[in-house]
Structure 1
Amino acid sequence: MASASFSPAAPPVFTGEGFHIWLVKMRTYIQAFNLWEVVNSDAELAPLRANPTVAQMRQHTDERTKKHKAMSCIQNCVSDVIFTRIMTCETPKQAWDKLKEEFQGTERTRQQQLLNLRRDFENLKMKEEETVKQHSDRIMAVVNSIRLLGEQFDEVRIVEKVLSTLLERYKAKISSLEDSRDLTRVSLTELINTLYAQEQRRASRIEEHQEGAFQARSKPSSSNAAYKGKKNWRDKSKADASKK
């Protein structure tokens, strides 16, 4: 049972949208009250044995009321419209499974969704105009969708995906990393930060080059202006001399 000093905030009320995220938050919320076992299993509580002690009677009562507490958690975290779909369920597991079936689909549907997402993951490539951060965000969007469907997805696999889909301009940095680090131990955050630093240096060099080119183009214009000024001064001097 959650301690008196800790009272977890209830998940947002589920109204019919964002079920996968609500499901994860709701599971954590139920676990915080040590009620997940009765939601995940419909096992019947063993009957109280003969001549129980007071402690055994109290424990049996606590175990028996867990299902009601879990059901209360679920019912109070859905909107009235959603509640009408589970109000005839007699156990928290029935209510939980009913919600999953309606808003997550059957196991066959889930597997089809996973298949499509895995295909999307494999087909992801870095776009020419993308930054490393934008590219990794697209990858993580697919990965998180897969994780929300209950499939494990190791970070090592994500790092490998980022490395294998980077553009040619990052190859030198990758080679440098391979020489100095064990890439199987590099976290995604560390990799992105390293590549981001390279992007910043590259952007600075391009900016300096453009600024230098602009200054180089500006110099002839200044010389021409000076020459034109001298020419106008000589022409004016000649005109004044002829008047005299």
Structure 2
Amino acid sequence: MKTYLQAHDLWSAVENNAEPPPLRANPTVAQMRQHVEETAKKPKAMACLQNGVSDVIFTRIMACDSPKQAWDRLKEEFMGSEKTRQQQLINLRRDFENLKMKEAETIKQYADRIMATVNNIRLLGVDFAESRVVEKVITTLPERFESKISSLEDSRDLTTISLSELVNSLYALEQRRANRQEENSEGAFQARAKESSSANQRGKKP
């Protein structure tokens, strides 16, 4: 909703809740047109908020006098009080710090789990840099990724690498290892089958 209001140049009417300054004496046509547009921003923003919610939620904001009041009501309704949000933020940050990759987990599964926590933090209005997420991934990877991280450190500045680049590089390593394990397993199976067949042939000889 915030993005939608920003796209239509209406977010300032919600955020600032300020009335446009009155027209000066003898305004030009352009000034009058601009004043009308600025005056209409609050009702337009209120209409967007009212139309963007369900009927049940609409009843909670229909008595609000301004889009800012309606926004604050929605914010409190869905995000709780400031004290509640701070407690949620503390818990989420603790969860983020405690995250570690599990042995049976793929790099993409781990990255998704990290981003679920990060996005919940961002939903509380906190800026969370991607570089911090990248650092978290790098410092909590199991030992099997150590050689790849060392290689990346030699070829790239890891403070500027994006999360998607990092995950894709590590995913490629996982895929190569999985393919090698599959080939080794298949080779071992074929060797056992060949050995078993040879033993059967020897057993059939008179």
Normalising by the smaller structure, the TM-score range is: over 0.9
Q: Give how far 1:91 is off.
A: 0.8
Instruction: Report the equivalent of 2:63.
Output: 88
How high is the sequence identity, in percent, across the aligned residues?
Answer: 69
Instruction: Report the equivalent of 2:48.
Output: 73
Q: Give how far 1:218 is off.
A: 1.9
Instruction: Report the equivalent of 2:156.
Output: 181
Paired residue for 1:163, among 130, 138, 150? 138
Q: Give how far 1:169 is off.
A: 0.8
Residues 1:112 and 2:87 aligned together = yes
One-letter identity of the residue aligned with 1:209:
N
Count how many residue pairs are aligned between Structure 1 and Structure 2: 206
- Structure 2 CA distance, aligned partners of 1:197 and 1:62? 54
Matches within 5 A, 1:128-139: 128-139=103-114
Q: Give how far 1:153 is off.
A: 1.1
Give secondary structure in 2 for the equivalent of 1:185: coil
The structure having more radius of gyration, on CA atoms, is 1
Poorly superposed stretches of 4+, deviation over 3 Å: none
TM-score (norm: length of structure 2): 0.95
> CA RMSD of the aligned region, Å?
1.3
Question: What are the superposed Cα offsets for residues 45-88 of structure 1, whole Å, 9 maximum, x if unpaired?
Answer: 32222232333222222221211111111111111211111111
Q: Give how far 1:223 is off.
A: 1.8
Paired residue for 2:193, among 215, 218, 227? 218
One-letter identity of the residue aligned with 2:129:
D
Give secondary structure in 1 for the equivalent of 2:17: coil
TM-score (norm: length of structure 1): 0.80
Paired residue for 1:227, among 199, 202, 206? 202
Question: What are the superposed Cα offsets for residues 20-64 of structure 1, whole Å, 9 maximum, x if unpaired?
Answer: xxxxxx111111211111111122332222232333222222221
Q: Is the 8 A contact 2:101 2:110 kept in 1?
A: yes
Structure 1 segments unaligned to the other structure (5+ residues): 1-25, 232-244
